[in-house]
Amino acid sequence: MTKLLEMKNLNVRFKGKRTVHAINDVSLSMDQGETLALLGESGSGKSVTLKTLLGLLPPKRSQIDGSIHVNGVDIMSLRGRALQRYRGGEVSMVFQEPALALDPVYTIGHQIAESVMRHKGVDKANAMSTALDMLDRVRIPSANRRLHNYPHELSGGMRQRVMIALALACRPRLLLADEPTTALDATVQIQILLLLRELQKEFGMGVIFVTHDIGVAVEISERVAVMYAGQIIEEGTTHEIIRDARHPYTQGLLAANLHDVARGERLSAIPGAPPALEARPDSCPFAPRCPVAMPECRADLPPMLAPGDRRRVACLRAAQPIAAE
Amino acid sequence: MSVTDTYQPTPDTGGPAQPLIRVTGLQKYFPVRGGILGRTQAKVQAVDGVSFEVKKGETLGIVGESGCGKSTTAKLLIGLVEKDKGEIVFDGHALGERLSLKELRRGVQMVFQDSYATLNPRLTILDSVAFGAKVQGLDNPEELARKMMDRVGLDPDRFAHRYPHELSGGQRQRVNIARALAMSPRLVVLDEAVSALDKSVEAQVLNLLNDLRAEFGLTYVFISHDLNVVRYISDRILVMYLGEVVEVAPVDSIWQEQAHPYTRSLFSAMPSMDPDNRTKEPPLAGDPPNPINPPSGCRFHTRCRFASAVCKEAVPKLAGLARNGDHMVACHLHDAQSGHPKAGQGVPE
Ligand SMILES: Nc1ncnc2c1ncn2[C@@H]1O[C@H](COP(=O)(O)OP(=O)(O)OP(=O)(O)O)[C@@H](O)[C@H]1O
Ligand SMILES: Nc1ncnc2c1ncn2[C@@H]1O[C@H](COP(=O)(O)OP(=O)(O)O)[C@@H](O)[C@H]1O
Ligand code: SF4
Ligand code: SF4
Ligand SMILES: [Mg+2]
Ligand SMILES: [Mg+2]
């Protein structure tokens, strides 16, 4: 079967007053129907990765190298009509802020139907009934009535559901979700995560779910790729990442998580802050904060080690098991 | 002279037994304007009949869904929003009687979530930190500010003359903490103060807050939507729903048993962190109701699995549990006389 996604040696650089090396040599592959969480702190390059996948970066200011194939199609070569068909058809996106995707001047039914007509070439009546069906599937109560509502007439949780309905209406093979639950209450967040999990199974689509929250990654994904300074520094199944993290940064993130920490006990914080990406990293970007750094780490980029099937870690220490210190 | 020696808090008046702050029956309704004449159409019942106290040296955590009135409560505490009703007593002195607004603000400081919006972009970090202390007329405000910067981990020689946009989010939040502490408050209200920070930086700031509390004998009111953070930092937790207090209890007690059905749902909404044991069912359906027109009786009855006829009519009162009087809850299930068919047996599974 063709790979759902094959991204090879992606590099993205933004030019301007200050050059930003946002993505540095990222490779990523996904099978059909897989759910992957892209985990990382702010500025680590998660959103830029997704935007590159959808061809949404400002063309004048960004320099993109590498190759991306979705279902065997080289998406960097898509232009015009073909690009339109790919966006929202083959691959679609759910944003953190529904305002980015929903147009305030049209009813939600109209917006979903419009997208279905454009991508599937069906008539208005058919598209409207697809829209109604989608609102039902994302569990909007009294969907028939809500079809005629404007976005501002809905609560935050409902708007997020509508955006999911819009994104899924054309049955994409790959859904990109950029922190779609970060702005929501925990009670609503868990509703949306479980809904996405169900729809993913039902539609058999692949999902890349961007988050900075390990707990959310655990709830939604089978696999996790951890980003730091525009690189993927570790990848594995969710189980492997939670139970057997090998990169000191991943281990630090897990330790800094407050789940199960006793009150008042000193937290094991990672010192310092992520690097500014003004230059392309030529040594381990985590070295300034790493508790087990060695002189070699500052000399060269660490090699990507593969301790298991589809398991990878970019750390010199990952070759030998790290003793818990 | 160490930074502890330069700290200039107002004197303790009532001794350790007197709560540092006590609020009774706090109420704030915000008018919502609309229509062509811009007349008041309705009122958002942001905070309605909220009472609690915070002991000296204690940390009270406040949790609840978005819009339930946490920030409004915080702003009422520092007099940033004017109350409609209720009483605020700071160390034995009632606001508006023996305590002026200026005196209240001398004793209570606030740290907000958005570290960028709250700093003046045209002031250097040193000027920002020293500003309040100057206004309050404290001695040597600049020296105090430099010491406080050093204390929160911002080397004054490196950072004093920088501007807010030249700092990271974690550094800006340290500036906000230094600025609040430079006024030598006794109570610090932290509203989502770590929520915008990355996890690795959040842990640094929480460690710092713990150290500062011990060093300056501070009392905190700590607001967050993250239960794990609140559990970590607080002695007691207060749970709000649609402008009201539904439960307040010592941290261990509430972690062991959530006595209010809403609190129970809120706790079960936390991600499991266990890939072999993921959440199966969402604990609550739908969003919170509109605070302009909250449900009658118990405001949670529209989403509660255990609601019965009495819940729609009678407002449950906040009262101590039989097994532990410090654990207070407002739910008919815990009041044997309420008329709820399941009353007196605690919350069913
Ligand atoms: N100045 C205002 N005018 C009108 N309504 C307001 C105002 N400030 C707050 N509200 C409303 O009062 C209610 C309580 O708001 P508050 O900001 O206290 O919520 P919160 O619990 O802090 O929520 P969050 O978790 O989103 O910060 C909300 O319905 C809010 O929309
Ligand atoms: N359009 C842009 N122009 C310049 N720099 C950008 C642009 N978009 C993102 N960046 C920079 O690229 C880096 C990665 O950003 P992003 O992918 O948004 O991070 P996140 O992991 O938080 O989603 C950051 O340093 C960010 O400031
Ligand atoms: S390569 Fe070296 S510095 Fe980088 S994470 Fe591994 S041990 Fe730490
Ligand atoms: S009073 Fe009734 S509706 Fe309210 S929480 Fe208790 S059982 Fe539920
Ligand atoms: Mg992002
Ligand atoms: Mg708030």
CB B213 within 8 A of CB B260: no
To the nearest 10°, report the CA torsion of B177, B181, B185, B186: 80
Regarding whether A217 and A150 lie in a shared domain, the answer is no
- ipTM of this predicted complex? 0.83
B284 in contact with chain A, both atoms CB, cutoff 8 A: yes
Distance from the B233 Cα atom to the nearest Cα atom in chain A, whole angstroms: 6
CB A174 within 8 A of CB A205: yes
What's at B63, amino acid-wise?
V
Q: Which atom of ligand 2 is nearest to the CA of A16?
A: 4
Regarding whether A233 and A123 lie in a shared domain, the answer is no
Percentage of chain B exceeding pLDDT 70: 97
Nearest of A233, A258, A257 to residue A246 by alpha carbon: A233
The residue behind tokens 């549990």 is B321
Regarding whether A198 and A82 lie in a shared domain, the answer is yes
What CATH number has the domain bearing residue A197? Answer: 3.40.50.300
CB B291 within 8 A of CB B275: no
Q: What would the CATH number be for the domain defined by B15-234?
A: 3.40.50.300
Regarding whether A84 and A107 lie in a shared domain, the answer is no
- Among the three residues A129, A151, A171, which one is the final residue of a domain in this structure? A171
Token pair of B107, please?
């004793």
Mean of the per-residue pLDDT values of chain A: 91
Name the residue range of residue A106's domain.
Answer: 99-171
Is A123 a member of any domain?
Answer: yes
A252 in contact with chain B, both atoms CB, cutoff 8 A: yes
CA dist B48 and B244 (Å) reads 6
- Among the three residues A130, A154, A171, which one is the final residue of a domain in this structure? A171
Regarding whether A294 and A176 lie in a shared domain, the answer is yes
pTM: 0.88
- The predicted pLDDT at position B36 comes to 61
Token pair of A107, please?
């009813």
Regarding whether A125 and A12 lie in a shared domain, the answer is no
Local confidence band at A269 (pLDDT 50, 70, 90 cut-offs): confident
Give distance in angstroms: CA of A40 to centre of ligand 5. 9
Percentage of chain A exceeding pLDDT 90: 71
Domain positions in chain B are 15-234
Regarding whether A281 and A210 lie in a shared domain, the answer is yes
DSSP letters spanning A230-297:
TEEEEEEEHHHHHH---SHHHHHHHHH--TTPPTTPPP-PPPS-PPP-SS---S-TTGGG-TT--GGG
- Residue of A246, A286, A325 with the most ligand 3 atoms within 8 Å of its CB, for mutation: A286
Token pair of B31, please?
């008018």
Local confidence band at B117 (pLDDT 50, 70, 90 cut-offs): confident
CB A43 within 8 A of CB A49: no
Local confidence band at A267 (pLDDT 50, 70, 90 cut-offs): confident
Give distance in angstroms: CA of B306 to centre of ligand 4. 6
B231 sits in which H/E element:
helix B227-233
Regarding whether A40 and A28 lie in a shared domain, the answer is yes
- Residue of A10, A12, A17, A20 with the most ligand 2 atoms within 8 Å of its CB, for mutation: A20
pLDDT of B34 > 70? The answer is no
CA dist B239 and B263 (Å) reads 7
CA dist A256 and B126 (Å) reads 30
What's at B175, amino acid-wise?
V
Give distance in angstroms: CA of B235 to centre of ligand 6. 21
pLDDT of B338 > 70? The answer is yes
**Residues pairing with B241 in the sheet:** B244
For A109-147, the pLDDT digits (tens) are: 999 999 999 999 999 999 999 999 999 989 888 899 999
A216 in contact with chain B, both atoms CB, cutoff 8 A: yes
B216 sits in which H/E element:
helix B199-216
Regarding whether A167 and A183 lie in a shared domain, the answer is no
- Among the three residues A140, A171, A202, which one is the final residue of a domain in this structure? A171
Is A324 a member of any domain?
Answer: no
Regarding whether A284 and A137 lie in a shared domain, the answer is no
Nearest of B203, B180, B207 to residue B191 by alpha carbon: B180
**Residue with CA nearest ligand 4 atom 1:** B331
**Orientation angle between helical segments A186-203 and A156-168, nearest 10 degrees:** 10
Regarding whether A284 and A151 lie in a shared domain, the answer is no
Residue A166, burial from CB neighbour count under 10 angstroms (0-12, 13-18, 19+):
buried
CB B131 within 8 A of CB B154: no
Mean of the per-residue pLDDT values of chain B: 91
Is A323 a member of any domain?
Answer: no
For A160-210, the pLDDT digits (tens) are: 899 999 999 999 999 999 988 887 788 888 989 999 999 999 999 999 999
Domain count, chain A: 2
Residue B162, burial from CB neighbour count under 10 angstroms (0-12, 13-18, 19+):
middle
Supply angle C-alpha B314, B316, B322, rounded to 5.
Answer: 140
Q: Which chain B residues are Cβ-neighbours of A185 within 8 angstroms?
A: 65-66, 225, 269, 288
Regarding whether A143 and A291 lie in a shared domain, the answer is no
- The predicted pLDDT at position A22 comes to 95
pLDDT of B339 > 50? The answer is yes
